[in-house]
Amino acid sequence: MTLAAPDRTSSLKLKMETREARIGIVGMGYVGLPLALLFSGEKFRVTGFDIAEDKVSILNSGGSYIVRILPAAIQSAQQAGFRATSDYSHIAEMDAVIICVPTPLNDHHEPDLSYVIGTVKSIAPHIHDGQLIILESTTYPGTTQEIVSPLLEAGNLSGLKVACGTSGAHPSVHVAFSPEREDPGNDTVDRRDIPKVIGGCDPTASELASALYGAIFRRVVVVSSPAVAEMTKLLENIYRCVNIALVNELKQLCMRMGIDIHEVIDAAKTKPFGFQAFYPGPGLGGHCIPIDPFYLSWKAREFDFRTRFIELAGEINTAMPYFVVSQIAAGLNNHRKSVNGSKILILGLAYKRDIDDLRESPSLTIIELLREQGAIVAYNDPYFPTVGHGRHYDLNMTNTPLDNLTQYDAVVIVTDHSTYDYKSIVEQSQLVVDTRNATKGIDNPKILRC
């Protein structure tokens, strides 16, 4: 006998509260895999879906391909029922499905939703009545209701509709958006303490998503719609993007004025109100901050609105790798050398310290720009034995050991990994270009801070 909608909802909520609900997470990357481990830690049976067979194989063998996630964590999750698969037919066995796939930019800096669209089309034939579908991938306001929901309805074979308003009599699925708030490398905040924002297409979707996430997060924040939740994520990251652009611009001004921007920031942050410290760098990296402003700017055009302030911040941050290369050239020039023909070692490929994530890393752009100018470039990063081809780079390089640093005309600190002995690096090098203030406290004329 088919349960009426209110009974289905109550039954699924009970399964979530008793940890009997089956959870499917699509995308076993930097967002999906940690989320799967959180659910497994609460004794949920989790199935991880990914189109990459090598990832599926590694996970099912109890291994890990993300440095900060130890194999022991995968093995512990397996004891709670975790498994990985590339077979989307198993979506039919899930009570809730969470989509955590990439949403990059294309070559024209426009949203690329191909991973989301492909995923929704793959799961749509297997969804069932009463199921909860949640999108976590960062995107522009309207994606959940304008793209995900119609694709789910068009792709299933049972005539299921996405529940909206207060109706629920027709066989339906419940759809919500809940933005991921991952911060790779941040060990100061427990993931469970990061509030989970939820916006459902209907009240039942919000209710179910709250019950689900409430099992692993200490606080859920329900908003009125998926669009509000989508905009919330963009605001969080655009806030950071704009403030980083501000200090990146001020850094360049301070350099001309002979002022240390880091000393300025350290003094300013002693104010107990009205100021939050942001720090300059060689450019933005990661999946969110360099990308999210362009998502919103693109969507704003639909409403005849230009996000000039946001676009300017994006331009400043995008230009930072070019500024770094100009400073490398200036440093070499002071040593009567040109970029063309110089041997340059890049320290750090990851977009931030102590992680194994290359997404949108400014190091990649800096390497390509130096190569274009004729430099002989090598790199060292303890997290990347090799780096080959990606969406926006084609380097094909191998990690270089940190020995015989005198052979390089310049050593450039792009990612300030904590494993580096900066004092020793400075002593052994001819010229050190420091883009991260990693050599703070070291007084040596070899250092060019930029």
Query: How far is C-alpha 93 from the chain's CA centre?
Result: 29
CB 445 within 8 A of CB 381: no
Residue 315 CA to residue 332 CA, distance in Å, equals 26
Q: Which residues make Cβ contacts (< 8 Å) with residue 263, sequence separation at least 6?
A: none
Q: How large is the C-alpha radius of gyration of the chain?
A: 24
Catalytic residue among 201, 241, 254, 288: 288
Instruction: Check residue 331 and give left, alpha or beta (phi > 0: left; psi -120 to 50: alpha).
Output: alpha
Length of the chain: 450
Catalytic (active site) residue 288 = yes
Mutual orientation of helices 203-214 and 5-17 as an angle, nearest 10°? Answer: 10
Check residue 80 and report its DSSP letter.
Answer: T
Q: Which residues make Cβ contacts (< 8 Å) with residue 326, sequence separation at least 6?
A: none
372 three-class SS: helix
Check residue 85 and report its DSSP letter.
Answer: E
CB 345 within 8 A of CB 378: yes
Residue 110 CA to residue 104 CA, distance in Å, equals 9
| Phi, psi (deg, nearest 5) at residue 39 | -65, -40
The residues carrying an active-site annotation are 288
